[in-house]
Structure 1
């Protein structure tokens, strides 16, 4: 469905969950059992900044406090 209509994975999964609820919890439809697969969400890798980019980012901070916070975030692996 998401390939032909170009829907987001979340929209497809929401529709699948609605059909599952309908077939499992509506009293007149308990004999119907559908195995509806969920759409797999593609995970993107985080963008890694080069050392030069990180240095430029820290140098561009307006205050010493801001540059210290950026340095702490980068040192802690949070990225900038």
Structure 2
């Protein structure tokens, strides 16, 4: 399993599955301001490694949940058994 190692990667992957950072923060049990990781002047701030790990784990769990949901809707069939 591949975990993101920066807040930028987490934000990008979250955007790819339309997961809002506020919701991700809620899933990870951290404040929304921590998940956004912005300084007052708009630059990205450093996030503690433990917080980054919580966000990454919550994101991966959401990705897996979404994957499993989609696979129930669109199962992958073996070509040999489909014929």
TM over 0.5: no
Higher helix residue share: 2
Indicate the structure whose relative CO is greater, using CA pairs within 8 Å and at least 6 residues apart.
Answer: 2
Q: Normalization by structure 2: what TM-score?
A: 0.28
Larger Rg: 1 or 2? 1
Q: TM-score w.r.t. structure 1 length? A: 0.29
